[in-house]
Amino acid sequence: MVDGEDDATDTGDGFGHVPVLLDRAVELLGPAIEAAGPGGSGAVYVDATLGLGGHSEHFLRSFPGLRSVGLDRDPDALDIARGRLAEFSDRTDFVHTRYDGIADALDQVGLDRVGSVHAILFDLGVSSMQLDEADRGFAYSKDAPLDMRMDPTSGITAADVLNTYGHGDLARILSTYGEERFAGKIASEILRAREKSPFRNSGELVELLYRTIPAASRRTGGHPAKRTFQALRVEVNSELDSLRAAIPAALDSLAIGGRVVFMSYQSLEDRVVKQELTPRSKSRSPEGLPVELPGMGPELRILTRGAERASDDEIDKNPRSAPVRLRAAERIARR
């Protein structure tokens, strides 16, 4: 998945994308899968952001005993993934849900919410398919209806946000979710423009942003619409709230020795992941005690040194991996 459209290209694998950091994901999650049994026999892998199924296909092919549970809020993505993974139908389950629905999804497929999963992958952001489909409204380079819903069957659209939110809320989401320096100025221009005509298409918003953001900032800060489009998408899909709810549920589902990988494409997502993982990797025993108090030791072992970035070779092969920040952890105990 990706978080922008700079460097967006068709990578030509037959499904329009190459899975990001695939080898590193296998390197990190593979030991937990292999520990369950030969060929991953008895292991459960949860792809919390199934998308087009590229990561899942590789894991299912690499571990012939592995069972996979794929989650996605986008019904179109689920349909494509079902077709792609049809040869593994006896080892795959698909659940239409956001990733914060992981506990209910495990219930739905007959797995325990606690301790039943050996490997989990979160590949966050907007999927290649969603970005490439012009009528979804994610891409600022294509004029399309301002939708931006990852699940097009429910929820508010980006047009709803632009046409109904007050100045304070608009400025807040642009500043918080888009880290936009000119959030207040843009919010004022949005209110002024919608008095004449409601926002319907992305081209109208892009034109407003070109008029509003100073020329000097446009020359040095990337595409002037990038931050605003990111902010709207995060708001429409409640992405950060979903992630905050999803991580504890995902960690609860891990068996001892189970592992999780997070791939984030913006600093806001990565910050949430770090804030959730770090406390669980530290002892809660008072400092100075000679022994660890029962039940107070670390739950997790962090497997990465900070947030890993894609190598130059990876970016050359797959430009959409350029912004990725990867973190991984292993469950070593249960408090």
Sheet of 300-302: strand order equals 92-96, 67-72, 44-47, 117-123, 254-264, 325-331, 300-302
Mean pLDDT of 217-240: 88
In a shared domain, residues 169 and 295: no
Mean pLDDT of 164-183: 96
- Does residue 123 have a known ligand-binding role? yes
- Does residue 96 have a known ligand-binding role? no
Give, to the nearest 10 degrees, the angle between helix 167-178 and helix 226-237: 110
Instruction: Supply the pLDDT for residue 289.
Output: 81
- Does residue 45 have a known ligand-binding role? no
Three-state SS annotation for the chain: CECCCCCCCCCCCCCCCCCCCHHHHHHHHHHHHHHHCHHHCCCEEEECCCCCCHHHHHHHHHCCCCEEEEEECCHHHHHHHHHHCHHHHHHEEEEECCHHHHHHHHHHCCCCCCCCEEEEEEECCECHHHHHCHHHCCCCCCCCECCCCCCCCCCCCHHHHHHHCCHHHHHHHHHHHHCCCCHHHHHHHHHHHHHHCCCCEHHHHHHHHHHHCCHHHHHHCCCCCHHHHHHHHHHHHCHHHHHHHHHHHHHHHEEEEEEEEEEECCHHHHHHHHHHHHHHCCCCCCCCCCCCCCCCCCCEEECCCCCECCCHHHHHHCHHHCCCEEEEEEECCCC
pLDDT of 218 > 80? The answer is no
CATH code of 103's domain: 3.40.50.150
pLDDT of 95 > 80? The answer is yes
Question: 42 lies in a domain?
Answer: yes
Which of 237, 253, 278 marks a domain boundary?
237
Question: 16 lies in a domain?
Answer: no
In a shared domain, residues 27 and 116: yes
Instruction: Supply the pLDDT for residue 12.
Output: 40
Which of 237, 256, 281 marks a domain boundary?
237
pLDDT of 179 > 70? The answer is yes
- pLDDT tens per residue, range 237-288: 999 999 999 999 999 999 999 999 999 998 999 999 999 999 999 988 888 7
In a shared domain, residues 254 and 116: yes
Give the chain's domain count. Answer: 2
Instruction: Supply the pLDDT for residue 132.
Output: 57
Mean pLDDT of 110-126: 94
Instruction: State how far the Cα of 25 lies from the Cα of 40, in Å rounded to an integer.
Output: 15
Question: 243 lies in a domain?
Answer: yes
In a shared domain, residues 123 and 252: yes
Instruction: Supply the pLDDT for residue 1.
Output: 42
Instruction: Work out the mean pLDDT of the chain and round it to a whole number.
Output: 90
pLDDT of 184 > 50? The answer is yes
pLDDT of 332 > 70? The answer is yes
Instruction: Supply the pLDDT for residue 60.
Output: 98
Instruction: Supply the pLDDT for residue 139.
Output: 80
Higher pLDDT, 249 or 17: 249
Least confident of 47-51, 187-191, 222-226: 222-226
In a shared domain, residues 163 and 203: yes
Q: How confident is the model at residue 127 (pLDDT cuts 50, 70, 90)?
A: low
- Does residue 99 have a known ligand-binding role? yes
Enter the pTM of the model.
0.88
In a shared domain, residues 217 and 247: no
In a shared domain, residues 110 and 163: no
Instruction: Supply the pLDDT for residue 328.
Output: 98
Instruction: Identify whether the C-beta of residue 302 lies closer than 8 Å to the C-beta of residue 281.
Output: yes
Percentage of the residues of the chain whose pLDDT score is greater than 90: 76
Instruction: Supply the pLDDT for residue 268.
Output: 92
**Angle subtended at Cα 277 by Cα 273 and Cα 278, rounded to the nearest 5 degrees:** 115
- pLDDT tens per residue, range 303-321: 999 999 999 999 998 888 9
Name the residue range of residue 91's domain. 22-129+239-331
pLDDT of 300 > 60? The answer is yes
- Does residue 110 have a known ligand-binding role? no
Higher pLDDT, 231 or 126: 231
Which of 237, 268, 303 marks a domain boundary?
237
Instruction: Supply the pLDDT for residue 190.
Output: 98
Residues 6+ apart with CB under 8 A from 217: 181, 182, 224
pLDDT of 6 > 60? The answer is no
CATH code of 213's domain: 1.10.150.170
